[in-house]
Structure formats: C-alpha cells, structure tokens
Amino acid sequence: MSDDAVDRAQRVLEEGISKDFSQAMSYGAYLDLDTLLSAQHPRSEPEQHDELLFIVQHQVAELWLKLLLHELRSARALVAADELAPALKRLARVKHVQKQLVEQWDVLATLTPSEYAQIRPYLATSSGFQSHQYRAVEFLLGNKNADMLRVFEHSPREHAVLERLLREPTLYDEFLRFLARRGHAVPEAVLGRDVTQPYRLDEDLVEVFASVYAAPAAHWGVYETCEELVDIEDLFQQWRFRHLQVVTRTIGHKQGTGGSSGVAFLRRALDLTFFPELYAVRVRVE
C-alpha cells in the first residue's frame, strides 16, 4: 500500500502531538476523569443493565445545573452592577444549557416501565426532588419556598447554600432594581418586597412593562432582557413538562420514590411562574 493510501486509511500521529505526560498535564488529569468516571455506583444486585443509564442521566443533569447556577449568579451580579450587555450573554448561555437538560429526557425515555421496575427498589427514598442544585436554580429565578429547606437539613452545606439564596434577591429582583435606577416607575412595594417570599404579580408593574413593549426601539436593552427572561421561563416549563411526560410513561400514577404523589405533584409545578408581569403584559400589546 502506498504512503498516500495509508494516509487516507488512517490519521497519522503528527510529530508535534504530545505523547509523554509524566511531567505534563493530560486531558484526563485536567478533567479529573478518574474521579468523574468512577462516580457511578449501581446498587442493584445482581446489577441491572439499565441502572447505569439512570445514574449517568442524573449525574449529567447535575453537572448542567452546576453550570446554570454559575451563569445565573454571574448574570444577577452583572445586572446589579448595571452591566446589562454581558448579563445578556450569560442568559444566552443559560438557554443553551436548558436545551440540553430538556433534550436529555429523550434518553431516559428509552427506559421502559419493566426495565425501570428492575432498578426502582434500589433508589429507596432518593428522588430528584432532593436535588439542592435544582432548588437553588428555582430560588434564583424566584420560586422561593422556605419549607423546602427542611428537605436539606441532613446536609449542612446544602442547607446553608439554599438558606443564603432564600435571603438574597433573585435575578428578577435585580432586574427590577435596574429598571428603577434607569428611571422606570417600578412600584416601591416591589422594590421593598420580602425577597424570602415567592414573587407575586404586581399590576402596577405591568404598566411599566406595557410602556416598554409599546416602544421597543426606545427601550431596546430592557425589551431584549424581558424576552430573554421569557425564553428562560419557557425552557424551564419545557423541562418540567418533559419530566412529567417521562415519569407518566415510566411509572404512571404511582407514588414517587421520595414520597410525593408523583405525576400529580409534578403537574402542579406547571402552574408556577417566575416572571408573571412579562406574561401579563402580552394582553396589552397592540
């Protein structure tokens, strides 16, 4: 075979490619892959083939949630510092991460009821409801609920993270404060609200957004931010709905492993909203 034919049949290792990692950092070392890839511990005995899928699916989701929190915290800080443009860049990335979280439900949906029944007993009382990172995302976006802290009393670290977020302003709170600094008539009741409570619709604030939507070109940065927030809520609802669908097709109306009512509990979450004025204003746009 000619040298040209060999080159076409396989990719030749170039001379400049690093091959000795005795004194240099490798890909695996940088990503700490030994730790990451050894973190899957199936509990079934004998081990069930599909348990690895279930574990990896949820571990990957937790990694995406970690990145979501990183980006949302940064976006909140940037809005608080009146740096709207880089904050919008963070929110654009948040949306791409959310799409990954939505689409990965398709992988778990390949788990049939019979296959899941083989591994469900080994989950015991563990449940995605107990994800402190998911709860942190909800707190950052505005769905505050102090009662949820009780679920995390077993972990002082997780409890402390959530308690701190409960008492901090949400991303939306900081955006409304930004609007006030820019001269928009944000109601004092909104600016001075108790941030430990879930956000509630304020009709006077709808008027503020109505003026923005009536003249987008004059308020472009604010207008764009409003639509970015709506996109984020839309994707969050898609995630909730796909979760509901996958649970319905996998266990039907059985009780959840964590003790919830399962499908009924998940369905109620679809009624929650983070940014109510941004939806209420739509009936005012002509």
Which of 64, 99, 93, 135 has the alpha carbon at shortest distance from 236?
99
120 labeled part of a ligand binding site: yes
267 labeled part of a ligand binding site: no
Cα–Cα distance for residue pair 52/217, rounded to 1 Å: 51
248 labeled part of a ligand binding site: no
8 labeled part of a ligand binding site: no
129 labeled part of a ligand binding site: no
273 labeled part of a ligand binding site: no
> Max alpha carbon distance in the chain (Å)?
80
56 labeled part of a ligand binding site: yes
57 labeled part of a ligand binding site: yes
58 labeled part of a ligand binding site: yes
What is the rounded (10 degree) CA torsion for 194, 200, 203, 204?
20
Which of 275, 283, 270 has the alpha carbon at shortest distance from 231?
275
Burial of 72 (0-12, 13-18, 19+ CB in 10 A): buried
The answer to whether the beta carbons of residues 98 and 119 sit under 8 Å apart is: no
Q: How far is CA 98 from CA 62, 106, 166, 175, 239, in A?
A: 12, 14, 22, 21, 8
Binding residues: 54-58, 116, 120, 243, 257
**Which amino acids are annotated as binding site for substrate, given as ranges?**
54-58, 116, 120, 257
**Residues annotated within a binding site for heme:** 243
